[in-house]
Amino acid sequence: MHQSSNHSKFQRMRRRLDLFRQKKEEQSVSHPLRACLPFLCATGVLMTTVVTAASCTLCYRVDAQGQSLAFFHDVATYDAAVSQAETRASKILETQYSLNQDLSVRATLAPKDQIESLSGVTGSLMESIPELEHVYTLSVDGTMVGAAQDPSVITQALNLVKERYTTPEPRSLHIDSQVDIRYQYLPADTGESTAEEMAAALLAQSPRTFSYTTQPGDTMESVTALFSMTEERFRELNPDLTLEPAAPTASSPLDELPDNEAADAQVSAAEEPSPDSAEADSQADENVIDLEALLGDQLQTPLEAGLTITIEQSCPLLVVSTVEEMNLTREILPDLETQEDDTMFQGQQRIIQEGEAGQSSVLSRVVKRCGVPVASNDLSAVTLSEATPLIVGTGTKAMPELPDGCLFLWPVQGPITSEFGYRFIFGENNFHRGLDIAAPSGTPIAASAGGQVIWAGPKGTYGNLVKIDHGNGFTTYYAHCSELLVQEGDQVTQGQTIALVGSTGRSTGPHCHFELLWQDELLDPQLCLP
């Protein structure tokens, strides 16, 4: 019984096996490629090997601390790359540097497109040096400003500087400096800069020299004021320029001084008060204004338009120029007109009507460097107010004939610091009765012609004064003397020393105030001097 049961189980198993085999055979008949699968697999492996062999090549690989750095063809390339990397690193670190890392070189198989040139291998070695950092740097005119990993930081810094010079409607903006942005290696401890730090460095001020083309109306004084230069520095930078100051005009800034100063500050050596005016004499002790010094500050030294000169300007490291269209208000200088005046001798002048400047509204294209205007071009102009002409009267009365043997000489040698006649000073016309001749204190003063001394002593604003009557209708005055060497009643000869130069009375400094009268009427001494 037991045997029969076992036999049945065996038969069932055998039938299942036969069915499985039959099914497999049917599948093989319906899918013939299945029988070729082992062959196909072997063929794929072979083809992959062929393709790999075609795209790869035998080469060398350099590793550092277990990481692959680069593939290269031959050992000579590696040796040259090491030498170049060490040289560059030594220069950057400013010390002798050797690649002492755990570098290893071995032969291998690598894709052809991964094989690097000498420069590529050198770069890979540089990247592996921990003492170096690969960053973007910003330099201006050869001076490095900062470094950053992200190049947008540099762009942001430049934009921060540009914003400082941006107007609502700028015509154009140009960076005049040489800007250099590089991706380079620096010592790892250099550190990175923020955009704000770079901008601050770019805006740091320092004196720099530039070429400047003079504009119409420029003077040495206006140019030095525009660029905050001293006159000494201007002359030092432009040694070949011939600079001569011009006389003050009706439009001189002197007329902008307060009225109280105008009242006190009179023409150098002062006009002679009337002989019976005690009040005028008492003014000699009042505050004396250094008029010559004031005039010296206002004398303008004109510059020919179109000259190329050298100026010094305090500018940021990054020099920016802008071109803008601006509405400006300009002065219209008064015209000069002359009228004959028969109450004055020939050669004498006086101001009949004070000139008054007008105004115009001008649309101008202005070029600025570092915010300072350096050139302009007027596009249009509209007159707001007309200028009032300056009218000057010129004498027509004939000069008196000098008697025979009467020849006047200069009482002292020196520059004329104030001439005879009317001048517009401190907001009003003032009359200067003679010549001011500058000379050191103590310089001898000579009698201009022979005659009799009719005054020798203090005389109001004149200070110490000598008057000489020449006996032919002519009288001469010598004022502000430090010492008198003659007395009233003395007879003097032409050229005789009568006093010494000083600065007594209302005076601005050592000089001789010299007057010439004919029949008690003032003359311009220069008309009678050789």
DSSP characters for 401-460? PPPTT-----SS-S-EEE-SEEEEETTEEEEE-SEEEE--TT-EEE-SS-EEEEEEEE-G
- pLDDT higher than threshold 90 for residue 516: yes
Mean pLDDT along residues 504-530: 88
One-letter identity of residue 165: Y
Cβ atoms of 348 and 239 within 8 Å: the answer is: no
User: What integer pLDDT is reported at residue 290 of this predicted model?
Assistant: 37
Q: How far is CA 473 from CA 56, 66, 113, 376, 517, in A?
A: 123, 118, 115, 59, 8
The model scores a pTM over 0.75: no
Answer with the residue of higher pLDDT: 285 or 342: 342
User: What integer pLDDT is reported at residue 246 of this predicted model?
Assistant: 59
Model confidence at 457, pLDDT cuts 50, 70, 90, reads very high
- pLDDT higher than threshold 50 for residue 291: no
Q: Which of 299, 512, 320, 310 is nearest to 414 (CA)?
A: 512
Mean pLDDT along residues 471-496: 93
- pLDDT higher than threshold 60 for residue 259: no
Mean pLDDT along residues 170-181: 85
d(CA 338, CA 390): 8
Q: How far is CA 173 from CA 161, 162, 199, 233, in A?
A: 11, 8, 17, 30
User: What integer pLDDT is reported at residue 179 of this predicted model?
Assistant: 93
Model confidence at 262, pLDDT cuts 50, 70, 90, reads very low
Q: How far is CA 424 from CA 217, 250, 331, 429, 530, in A?
A: 21, 6, 18, 4, 28
Mean pLDDT along residues 272-290: 34
d(CA 434, CA 479): 10
Cβ atoms of 134 and 185 within 8 Å: the answer is: yes
Mean pLDDT along residues 183-208: 93
Q: Which of 202, 204, 194 is nearest to 153 (CA)?
A: 194
Cβ atoms of 88 and 185 within 8 Å: the answer is: yes
- pLDDT higher than threshold 60 for residue 27: no
Give the percent of the chain with pLDDT over 90: 44
Which of 130-144, 370-384, 443-457 has the least mean pLDDT? 370-384
Mean pLDDT along residues 200-222: 90
Strand partners, 175: 320
Model confidence at 324, pLDDT cuts 50, 70, 90, reads confident
- pLDDT higher than threshold 90 for residue 425: no
Q: What is the mean pLDDT of the chain?
A: 79
d(CA 355, CA 249): 10
User: What integer pLDDT is reported at residue 52 of this predicted model?
Assistant: 47
User: What integer pLDDT is reported at residue 279 of this predicted model?
Assistant: 33
Cβ atoms of 528 and 516 within 8 Å: the answer is: yes
Q: Which of 324, 52, 344 is nearest to 170 (CA)?
A: 324
Mean pLDDT along residues 311-316: 92
Model confidence at 407, pLDDT cuts 50, 70, 90, reads confident
Model confidence at 255, pLDDT cuts 50, 70, 90, reads very low
Give the percent of the chain with pLDDT over 70: 75
d(CA 56, CA 75): 18
Which of 165-169, 258-262, 271-275 has the least mean pLDDT? 258-262
- pLDDT higher than threshold 70 for residue 345: yes
Q: If you count them, how many residues does the chain have?
A: 530
Which of 298-312, 423-437, 503-517 has the least mean pLDDT? 423-437
Q: How far is CA 209 from CA 143, 164, 227, 238, in A?
A: 17, 22, 11, 12
CA count, 13 A, side-chain hemisphere, 398: 3
Model confidence at 268, pLDDT cuts 50, 70, 90, reads very low
List pLDDT tens digits, range 117-139.
999 999 999 998 889 999 999 99
Cβ atoms of 450 and 494 within 8 Å: the answer is: yes
User: What integer pLDDT is reported at residue 427 of this predicted model?
Assistant: 53
Model confidence at 366, pLDDT cuts 50, 70, 90, reads confident
Cβ atoms of 150 and 109 within 8 Å: the answer is: no
User: What integer pLDDT is reported at residue 65 of this predicted model?
Assistant: 79
